[in-house]
Structures are given as structure tokens and as C-alpha cells.
Amino acid sequence: MDYLVYVTHDAENLQFYLWLQDYTERFHALKPDRKALSPEWKDQEQPIDEKAAPVPSAVAAGGRKKRPGPLMPKIDFDKPAQAASIGLTEIVVSPTKTDGSPSPTRTDPLSPTRTIFGDIPSFPSVPTSDAASHGQPVLSDDSVREMADEANNQAGLKWQAFSVQPLRQEIDRVIAHYLAQGAPRELNLSAKDRGAVLHALQHTTHPSAFKIVGDMVETTLRYQAHPNFVRWSICNGNKPRVFFVRTMGVTHIAAGLLIGLLLLLSSAPRWWRFFMFPVLFLGTTTMIAAYKGLCVILHKEHKRTLKPWEDRDSINSEISDTTNAAHSANLSAPSSIKKKGSASTLDYDEEATLHSNGSTATPSLKRPYSMDTFGSNNSFEGEAWVANYKRKSLKDRIWDEETWVQEESVRIIQDKIVKGAQLWSLILTTTATVIFLAVPGACLY
């Protein structure tokens, strides 16, 4: 998740994918009579009046109808698109009700909505005053409904969805957070795909209505984000460190060639030219490994530099703030929310999930709320490490803090890359040394 948030800036794909997998499981766990209200969606032909957005019927003074402006979808082609089995934490921020209605409590993990069937919300509400601490937007039910209606209107859908269907309110929140134009976590969808998904959701809340967007997100994660994440994980140094290593590699290559050239021009025996071999070999190996983002100095001890957002000082300061905010929210939350439910795999929406199995230890995640289904956009400009990292000097960035590479598969890949670099370096260095040995000496001095 950190890679998608801080590097590629498209964490909404994984957030939506994880929600969809869990939503599918919860939907199929509903009672048959409730599931019957939301039949499986089949790609039916849209009615004529729903194929396109309504065209204004106003006639201009000249008797000609005004043509509507083009509806330009928001498509970011520069955005690169790790699906993992990670427990989500649904914490939705809603303002305090003023009409005297009771705050929702969670007793049924299967439905996060309140309908005529007596469903009870499955998410705890966070007070508005704590919204900034939790990194969540204040989206009331009215705001969600308004955003969902606006998205349907832009897609040319004229009538309201079936409100008696199960999980309808959760679908509205998904539309407001992921599908509507300008949503906090807007997915990179074309206008055609967005309209098709909204049209399907207008008829049913069955998970099959998300087939188009689900396939797109899964393909992006599986064939683009995950391979890029693996390549990114192999790099054990930051950009300043890798640039420094490349500079050292070029310096060693130049020094090795200079040693060979000076010995070639001198009257020293030609076998002395072997002294160029170790220097040239070291420089070539360093350069080839650095091309893959590896620092051979760090690889020797199987270490890597800490990412800027993993800086220990920043983590300690932000964890302290997050812990205090979570503690105050936990004190003000209803007892039904504080009490952990039965051992259900679907019961992941409690604040205790942010800690390990409900323990009181501080969370290890830099952005624990980036795992929330509904929340703010995935911006990190306000985090403490951003300002701290900008104040670091070039020397401190090159010799940044280090940590051990824990993933064994990453260490194996790094070993293969270094061994391959050494093999190519041996071939190139041997060839260059043989050439220098074969050339007769100039005996200039």
C-alpha cells in the first residue's frame, strides 16, 4: 500500500479492489430472500432514453437548438495502475446528528446500512472534531446521496435506484468515493465504463454490477502495479545513494583504464598491466548493479535504506499523535463499538484492527487509515516526513538510515542480479585487460 500511496499515487485501485472482494463475500452471506431483491446483473441493452445524457430542449433565438458541450471524462494516461490479503478497516466519518436520532451501532457485520429490513450500520462513526486526526473527510449521508445523484445525472440516468435493495447505502458511498467525477478516490475510468457501471448499480446491488470496473482494477494491479512494485522493491538504495554509487562506478572504471594506459605508455613490463583488472572489475560491477538500482555496499550486508516515510523520528511523532486521537475517540465511542465481536473474518471494521489482533501496541503502519474503504484522498503532503526530508542535506540523504531486507525472495533476486553483474563485469574486464596486454608498450618514459 505504501508503494501505491507514495510512489505511483494510485492507491485507490487496491482500496477499491479489497472492498469489492469483501463486499462480494458479505453479499453472498446474506439471506436468500434478501439476495433475491438484487438479482445478478447481465449486460442488457440500455433503454433508448438512458443511452446518453439528456439534451436541453431550449431553442435559441435563431430557431436552432443549442448543442450541449462535450462531456470530457477525466482520464489520466500517465498514471500507472499489490493485491494482498490484508484486513481493511472501515471507518466512515459522519457529522453529529442534530435531529436527535440515535448514533448507529454495529451488531450485524453483514450490512452497513439501515433499511426497512432492520439492518444496522457496520461502521463506527468518528466525531467531526476528530476527522482531521483520522485523515477522513466529513461526508454526511446527504452529501453522499447528492454526489451519487450527480454522478447518475452525468451518466444520463434519470430515475432513482431501488432503495429497498440490500447494501444500497454502501453502494451510494462507493459511488461518492470512487465512481463520481471529482470523488476523493476517483478511479481512472472512461466515461463509457463509468456510465455502464452506474447504469448497472441503478438496477441492482449485486457484485456483478461491478464487473467492468472490477476487471479493470484487477488487471491494472496484477499486470502493471505488481510487476512495478517488485522492480521497485529490488532497489535497496534511494536516488541520491544510487547516483553516488554510479558516480563511484564511473570513477573506478576511469581509474582502471587510466592505470592501464599509463602502464602501456611506460617501459614497465606488460604484466604490470594486470593491476588495472581489480579496479576495472569493481567499477564495472558497481555500474551494472546500480543500473538495476542496487548498491553493492548495502547488498553485502543485505540491507536497504529506509524510505523517507519510514524515518523513525517521523514515525514516532506521528504514531504518538495518532495514538492519542484514537484513544480519545475510543473513550467517546459507544460500548457496542468498543466491544469486539465474535471471531468473524468479516468483523474488521473496528479501531482495534489497526493494532495487532486488538492489542494496545502502537500501529506499525505509516498511514493506517490508507486501508480504510471510505476516506480522504491519498495525499501525503501534510505528513511530517515531507518537511523533514526536504530539510535533509545531500550527505544525509546518501548515508541515510539503513535496515535489514526481511523478505527472503527479494534477497534472492538481489543476489541473482549481483552475480549477473559480476559475470558480465568479468567478461568485459577480462576482454579489456587482454587488449591492453596484447598492445606493445610505447616506452615513452
Summarize pLDDT for 48-58 with one digit per residue, the tens. Answer: 344 444 434 43
Contact present, 18 and 12 (Cβ < 8 Å)? no
Give the position of cell 546500480. 290
Give the span between the Cα atoms of 24 and 20, in whole angstroms.
6
pLDDT exceeds 50 at position 355: no
pLDDT exceeds 50 at position 388: yes
pLDDT given for residue 37 in this prediction:
87
Give the span between the Cα atoms of 248 and 33, in whole angstroms.
70
Contact present, 16 and 215 (Cβ < 8 Å)? no
pLDDT given for residue 132 in this prediction:
40
Torsion 359-363-367-371 (CA) sign: negative
Enumerate the β-bridge partners of residue 303: 404
Tell me the per-residue pLDDT of 95-153, one tens digit each, with 9 for 90 and over: 333 344 333 333 333 333 333 333 333 333 333 334 443 344 445 454 555 555 555 55
Give the span between the Cα atoms of 108 and 122, in whole angstroms.
6
Higher pLDDT, 377 or 149: 377
Higher pLDDT, 402 or 314: 402
pLDDT above 70 as % of the chain: 59
Give the span between the Cα atoms of 14 and 221, in whole angstroms.
7
pLDDT given for residue 152 in this prediction:
52
What are the residue boundaries of the structural domains of the chain, listed by start? Answer: 1-47+87-234+313-360+371-397, 237-306+400-438
Tell me the per-residue pLDDT of 20-49, one tens digit each, with 9 for 90 and over: 999 999 999 999 888 888 888 886 544 434
pLDDT given for residue 310 in this prediction:
82
Higher pLDDT, 28 or 86: 28
The size of the chain, in residues, is 445
pLDDT given for residue 225 in this prediction:
92
Give the position of cell 479489497. 18
Give the span between the Cα atoms of 50 and 161, in whole angstroms.
14
Rounded to two decimals, the pTM is: 0.60
Q: How confident is the model at residue 161 (pLDDT cuts 50, 70, 90)?
A: low
Looking at 129-143, 153-167, 270-284, which range is the least confident one? 129-143
pLDDT above 90 as % of the chain: 26
392-412: average pLDDT: 89
Give the span between the Cα atoms of 114 and 172, in whole angstroms.
13
| Angle at CA of residue 119, ends 325 and 16, nearest 5° | 60
Give the span between the Cα atoms of 408 and 118, in whole angstroms.
49
Residue 257 carries which side chain, given as an amino acid letter? Answer: L
Contact present, 139 and 331 (Cβ < 8 Å)? no
pLDDT given for residue 377 in this prediction:
79
Of 125-129, 212-216, 351-355, where does the model show the most confidence? 212-216
Give the position of cell 469486539. 340
Contact present, 349 and 123 (Cβ < 8 Å)? yes
The mean pLDDT value of the chain amounts to 70
Residue 424 has which C-alpha cell? 558480465
Contact present, 353 and 326 (Cβ < 8 Å)? no
Higher pLDDT, 137 or 312: 312
pLDDT given for residue 40 in this prediction:
87
